[in-house]
Chain A
Amino acid sequence: MYQISVTKYLMGTTVETTARSSDINYCKKALVAAYEEMQRVENLLSCQKDSSEISEINRAAGIHPVKVSYETLSILIRSKKYSQKYNGVFDVTIGPLSDLWGFSEDKEIVLPEDEKIKELTKLVNYDEIIINEKDTMVFLKKKDMSVDLGGIAKGYAIDRGSAVLKDMGITNFILNAGGDIYVSGTKDEETLWKVGIKHPRNTNDLIAEFDLKDYAVATSGDYERFKIINGKRYHHILDPATGYPGTLSESSTILAPTAEEADATATYVFLLGWEKTLNDKDINYPLLIVSSDGSIHYNQIFKKNYNLEIIN
């Protein structure tokens, strides 16, 4: 039996997979197919790629509806559902603000003007994504509105890549795309895969570790893409209500059945902060939040069922 490890650059991050198989050449074929599937999803959904369907929808904002694939339509429907469930704290129409701050692009980060932020915040409203399911058409109501699936597409791509591996008979693997992970099966007959959570301030250390099987985990953190300006940290997780980076958390880690759901929920929980999250009865997932004062908060379901150990 072999553990086969592969790393590739995709979706603006490194995607690492370790899979267990007795046949290296066959496992490599399955991994190539999984990476091709994730690349296909990126090409379809990335707002950084001019040729993607999402970019086409954004270009036609306020002008005309765009015919899209059923897959793009479906993820936009699900995005709206997450936005409704999370009261707009998660909102994929965050695009104009993401562009303004520029954390997803290769440009120098400067503090935007407050007035400009306020102006663009008015363009953020998931209710103004008009979806015509019958004709698979999507229309953004206002000119200059734009969709940025950054908070969900990576998770979806991981789920698709994982599905390809499973379809090809690779059932024991760990697929990590820039910290969002799907874990399938076990490391060996007796051992579960073990996942670590990075410490948000001492990023060379872990803050906790836990066991995972047939489940996904995602973390939103303020330490991956950020810039310190006048002593204050500005990062890429933007609050749709204010247009500024969220200030209540340093990181939030969520376990969920799919990487897509973990991805979207991690953003929501990061912005909501630990106090509201732990009192929110709709959030039943195992979670760990490092608050902006550095304190660690987690729920009992995480501790009990996943062998969570706090390290630092």
Chain B
Amino acid sequence: MKRRDFIKYSSLILPATAAIGMIGPFTKKVFASEKKNGSFSLSVITDQPSRTIHTIEQAIKNSEYGKNTLQFSEYLLNGRHIGDIAYIKSQTLVDYRKGKDDFSLLLGESASSLSLPKILDNPVLLRFSSEQKLLEPGSINIFRGDTLINQFTLDEEVEHHRVEGLKGHVDIRIKNNSVKIISASCKHKTCMNMEAISKPGENLVCIPNQINVSIAGKNSWGVDSITF
């Protein structure tokens, strides 16, 4: 993997690397994702999604979070990642291996029953969170079909980034904290008609290529769905 790609992907695998003691510069971004005190999120990178869901559900059920309604989402990841559990509580990454609280102990048992951590190719990212919408707010997530293929931050300046889709490609530009599709290989160019996006919950979609560029975070409109 090229260094640039590694840096981009490291924002995805960071929760896992941090949990095993390799805290890098991207930690801050992950920490910043939990703004409300008392918030909670659990990210699990795994190759056994059904079994992992069942195991984590049991851990949550027996914890202080069992009474809340939590958000759940699941994405496929491209490439090689470290399979592990990242537990973030009130803006703080908690190393469940060292934690003495009940939930850390439950997570420790879950990790060992799932044989985590381990290196996985094309795994699944499971997110359990007390926040609406998942992944780090302010990050730009690029999906092809169901797979999260790339990630940027809104404060990056990227003049031109090509995203390969199913039939062709789209080119995006990240500037002044917003993202815009600047060219597309399809003839229709519908996605180029869309305004630049800058707020959590907004997305740019290229249907023929099944590319979805979305800004993560709780949607800023305070609604559950949008008719258009």
Complex Cα distance, B226 from A221, in Å, reads 13
Question: Is A24's CB under 8 angstroms from B72's CB?
Answer: yes
Question: Is A14's CB under 8 angstroms from B205's CB?
Answer: yes
A residues near B38, Cβ cutoff 8 Å: none
B53 contacts the other chain (CB 8 A): yes
From A108, which residue of chain B is reached at the shortest CB distance? B187
**Beta-carbon contacts of B188-212 to A below 8 Å, as 1s and 0s?**
1110011101110010010110101
Complex Cα distance, B225 from A68, in Å, reads 36
Count residues on chain B whose CB falls below 8 Å from chain A CBs. Answer: 42
B residues near A12, Cβ cutoff 8 Å: 207
B71 contacts the other chain (CB 8 A): yes
Q: Whole-angstrom distance from the CB of A196 to the nearest CB of chain B?
A: 4
**Beta-carbon contacts of A226-246 to B below 8 Å, as 1s and 0s?**
110000000000000000000
Question: Is B195's CB under 8 angstroms from A179's CB?
Answer: no
A131 contacts the other chain (CB 8 A): no
Question: Is A209's CB under 8 angstroms from B227's CB?
Answer: no
B1 contacts the other chain (CB 8 A): no
Residues of B within 8 A of A (CB): 50, 53-54, 57, 68-74, 128, 133-134, 143, 145-146, 186-190, 193-195, 197-199, 202, 205, 207-208, 210, 212, 221-228
Complex Cα distance, B139 from A21, in Å, reads 28
From B205, which residue of chain A is reached at the shortest CB distance? A14
Q: A1-B69, A2-B71 are in contact. Are A107 and B187 (CB under 8 A)?
A: yes
Residues of A within 8 A of B (CB): 1-9, 12-14, 16, 18, 20, 23-25, 28, 105-109, 174, 176, 178-181, 183, 187-188, 193-198, 202-204, 206, 209, 217-219, 221, 223-227, 251, 253
B residues near A203, Cβ cutoff 8 Å: 194-195, 228
Q: Whole-angstrom distance from the CB of B177 to the nearest CB of chain A?
A: 13
B residues near A217, Cβ cutoff 8 Å: 227
Question: Is B187's CB under 8 angstroms from A3's CB?
Answer: no
A-B CB contacts (within 8 Å), total count: 121
Question: Is A219's CB under 8 angstroms from B228's CB?
Answer: yes
Instruction: Please list 11 pairs of residues, one from A and one from B, whose beta carbons are closer than 8 Å in the complex, sorted by A's number.
Output: A14-B212, A28-B53, A28-B74, A107-B188, A174-B225, A179-B227, A193-B225, A196-B221, A196-B223, A196-B226, A196-B227
Complex Cα distance, B56 from A23, in Å, reads 11
A residues near B128, Cβ cutoff 8 Å: 2
Partner of B225, one of A2, A188, A196: A196
Partner of B226, one of A2, A23, A198: A198
Question: Is B227's CB under 8 angstroms from A3's CB?
Answer: no
Q: A14-B212, A25-B54, A204-B195 are in contact. Are A5 and B226 (CB under 8 A)?
A: no
Complex Cα distance, B72 from A181, in Å, reads 21
Complex Cα distance, B228 from A5, in Å, reads 19
Question: Is B228's CB under 8 angstroms from A198's CB?
Answer: yes
Complex Cα distance, B167 from A273, in Å, reads 38
Question: Is B195's CB under 8 angstroms from A25's CB?
Answer: no
Q: A3-B72, A5-B71, A107-B188 are in contact. Are A194 and B198 (CB under 8 A)?
A: no
Question: Is A195's CB under 8 angstroms from B188's CB?
Answer: no
Partner of A221, one of B50, B199, B228: B228
B residues near A183, Cβ cutoff 8 Å: 225
